[in-house]
Amino acid sequence: MSETRSNQRNYAAYIDDRPHDAVFRIDRSIYNDPEILEAEYRYIFESGWVFLCHAGHVPKPGDFFATHIGRQPVFVVRKADGTLACYLNACGHRGATLVTARTGNAPSFTCPYHGFCFDTAGKCTAVTAPKTGWSDAHLDMAAFDLAPIARLDSYRGFVFGSLSADVPDLGNYLGGAKALIDIFVAPAPQQLEIVAGFSVYQTACNWKIMHENGPDAYHAPVVHNNFAQAINFREQRAVRTGVAKTDTGRLTGRIESASYDLGNGHTAFWHKRRDPEAFPIYAQKETLEKKFTPGQLEWILGRGRHMTIFPNLLLNDLASTHLRTYRPLAVDRMETMIWCIAPAGEPAEMRSARLRKFEDFFLPSGMATPDDVAVAESAHKASFALNSPWSNMGRGIDFKIAGPDAAARELGMAPKASSNSWDHEIALQGVYRRWLELMERGEERRRG
């Protein structure tokens, strides 16, 4: 345990960040220390912005989506007036879980414990046996109203919340990630929708290990070689063209690519698509050419894109467009939820191709995600090798570009740092600098 004499945890001791020596390392004990996880709940998940859901989860009045902010259960609901609200998922009477389904639609909510009722605006509208429990003078229905979270906002359909009011505006928090979110959303002539169905799975590892796995393209040709070989064999047996084809170029050889530290712990990378016509969006090429500059069009059609929003959201448009969330359950266990996301009303051929690729790679029953899970669990076990405590994240440090590269400037994206390969670890350095910033800020506030 790295602590000062005042019992303040010295989080800087876990990050060996020496740019002039081309060194960036983290102490792997941050993966297996329960006290660090408790601090992460307080200082990261329960003190800042976290992703809650997509507007496509709650399109109609009464639609709800139950999730968590750190340890605390919450639910997002579309109110009767069409606006969004988010409440702690605890009855205002005795604190029983109010919304017991993950998703659904309800004009009002009834507590399964004592039958108290609430509308979508969070107001308590009825209590059980009021006349025998309170006098008219002392029954204050408003005392049982649901507790809203401190901040709720959205950007381009992505809904974020915070238990603390002391957070920057969401736009400022997203910062350099906004330009890439715009490209993720804008090409669709229709709004994006959450494709029916989702997957939830747990991994026996610390949440940060799986979060690292997202921006880490370095592992892909090794860990996902089985996937690449299987797809190539399948397509040799039955030649596939157009959107039925799977582009495996990113896994089988060197390709043009780049990666970015977007600031605030957010990351991105892209790779040049070897077969852009294999992606459903390519069918809209003529329409997109009228709406976007050549540089923007290259980002949309010619580049597979990947982004993480710290601390719990991943957006992926590599093999198939999807979003993913991470939630720590214990120091050695975390939960992943994943959805396919697509333009509403896209042609059946395009939707089918999108879903087949989503199933191939990203589902826990697919040909790639089980490999990620196995490697992450193995890495967690190895974090107890304390006589060799450091994980080196210095790959690419000699090629770091301060600010945007040419591709980022085409998009109007302003990263803190760029790198000329997606398999560099510049983005991971940004993740852990943000981690350290939030942990130290939390300790300062605790002392104050």
In this structure, the number of other CB atoms found within 10 A of the CB of residue 383 comes to: 20
Please report whether residue 25 resides in a domain. no
Residue 208 and residue 122 share a domain: no
The whole domain housing 96 covers 50-154
Residue 206 and residue 142 share a domain: no
- Of 107, 114, 65, 55, give the one whose Cα is nearest residue 89: 65
Residue 201 and residue 107 share a domain: no
Residues 103, 65: contact at Cβ < 8 Å?
A: yes
Please report whether residue 391 resides in a domain. yes
Q: What is the reported pLDDT for 188?
A: 60
Residues 127, 93: contact at Cβ < 8 Å?
A: yes
Q: What is the reported pLDDT for 277?
A: 82
d(CA 250, CA 241): 18
Tokens of 37: 């996880």
Q: How many separate domains does the chain show?
A: 2
Residue 182 and residue 94 share a domain: no
φ, ψ (nearest 5 deg) of residue 399: -110, 10
Average pLDDT over residues 253-260: 87
Is the pLDDT at 349 greater than 60? The verdict is: yes
DSSP reduced 3-state for 34:
helix
Upper half-sphere CA count for residue 405 (Cβ side, 13 Å): 18
What is the CATH number for 203? 3.90.380.10
d(CA 233, CA 135): 76
In this structure, the number of other CB atoms found within 10 A of the CB of residue 117 comes to: 15
d(CA 414, CA 404): 6
* pLDDT tens by residue, 58-81: 999 999 999 999 999 999 999 999
Average pLDDT over residues 185-213: 88
Q: Rg of the Cα trace of the chain? A: 23
Average pLDDT over residues 353-358: 86
Residue 224 and residue 121 share a domain: no
Residue 136 and residue 80 share a domain: yes
Residues 207, 334: contact at Cβ < 8 Å?
A: yes
φ, ψ (nearest 5 deg) of residue 308: -120, 140
* pLDDT tens by residue, 275-329: 888 777 788 888 888 888 898 889 989 999 999 999 999 999 987 889 999 999 9
Q: What is the largest CA-CA distance in the chain?
A: 79
Residues 255, 282: contact at Cβ < 8 Å?
A: no
Q: How far is CA 143 from CA 73, 77, 124, 368, in A?
A: 20, 21, 8, 50
The structure's pTM equals 0.93
Is the pLDDT at 241 greater than 70? The verdict is: no
Helices (H) and strands (E) in the chain, counts: 14, 23
Residue 310 and residue 433 share a domain: yes
Is the pLDDT at 202 greater than 90? The verdict is: yes
The amino acid sitting at 172 is N
Tokens of 243: 């959107």
Q: What is the reported pLDDT for 351?
A: 87
Among the residue ranges 76-90, 96-110, 357-371, the one predicted with the least confidence is 357-371
Please report whether residue 6 resides in a domain. no
* pLDDT tens by residue, 41-53: 999 999 999 999 9
Residue 271 and residue 185 share a domain: yes
Among 92, 120, 154, residue at a domain's last position: 154
The pairing of strands 266-272 and 108-110 is: unpaired
Residue 390 and residue 323 share a domain: yes
Confidence of residue 357 (pLDDT cuts 50, 70, 90): confident
Among 120, 154, 188, residue at a domain's last position: 154
Is the pLDDT at 443 greater than 80? The verdict is: yes
φ, ψ (nearest 5 deg) of residue 444: -65, -40
* pLDDT tens by residue, 393-441: 999 999 999 999 999 999 999 999 999 999 999 999 999 999 999 999 9
Residue 250 and residue 134 share a domain: no
pLDDT mean across residues, the chain: 91
